[in-house]
Amino acid sequence: DAGVIQSPRHEVTEMGQEVTLRCKPISGHDYLFWYRQTMMRGLELLIYFNNNVPIDDSGMPEDRFSAKMPNASFSTLKIQPSEPRDSAVYFCASKGGTGRATDTQYFGPGTRLTVL
């Protein structure tokens, strides 16, 4: 079975540019999470969706960040305009389905974002 898919794996951009990160959750999962990992702050939750609806976006750092989930198999995290302090690894995770693993979040490979 395919795991969580994220693209791109690496992104280098210049300050002020728009950045869009993409995520495809595991098929059948009804929760999707976006995390950011930095050396200073560790792993922090930005936002999560349930059945494509944003449930908690309290971790989104500021209005420059936005996330959407137009359907059950696709989500985007957009940063506009990007700043050097946004440089981090962004992870997408999903959970749900049936069986014992419904409450376990499975993570994608991450997108390493560098803003120059």
Partner 1 sequence: AQKVTQVQTEISVVEKEDVTLDCVYETRDTTYYLFWYKQPPSGELVFLIRRNSFDEQNEISGRYSWNFQKSTSSFNFTITASQVVDSAVYFCALSPNLQGGSEKLVFGKGMKLTVNP
When the beta carbons of 3 and 16 are compared against partner 1, the nearer one is 3
Is residue 54 involved in binding partner 1 (CB under 8 A)?
no
- How far, rounded to the nearest angstrom, does the alpha carbon of residue 81 sit from its chain's CA centroid? 17
Backbone angles phi, psi at 84, to 5 degrees: -55, -35
When the beta carbons of 15 and 55 are compared against partner 1, the nearer one is 55
Size of the site for partner 1 (CB under 8 A): 22
When the beta carbons of 50 and 81 are compared against partner 1, the nearer one is 50
When the beta carbons of 23 and 93 are compared against partner 1, the nearer one is 93
Q: Among 21, 23, 26, 31, which residue sits at the site for partner 1 (rule: CB under 8 A)?
A: 31
CA distance 107 to 105: 6
Is residue 43 involved in binding partner 1 (CB under 8 A)?
yes
CA distance 77 to 33: 10
CA distance 115 to 98: 39
Which 93-112 positions form the footprint of partner 1 (CB under 8 A)? 93, 95, 103-110, 112
CA distance 25 to 99: 17
CA distance 88 to 26: 23
Residues that bind partner 1 (CB under 8 A): 31, 33, 42-43, 45, 48, 50, 55-56, 89, 91, 93, 95, 103-110, 112
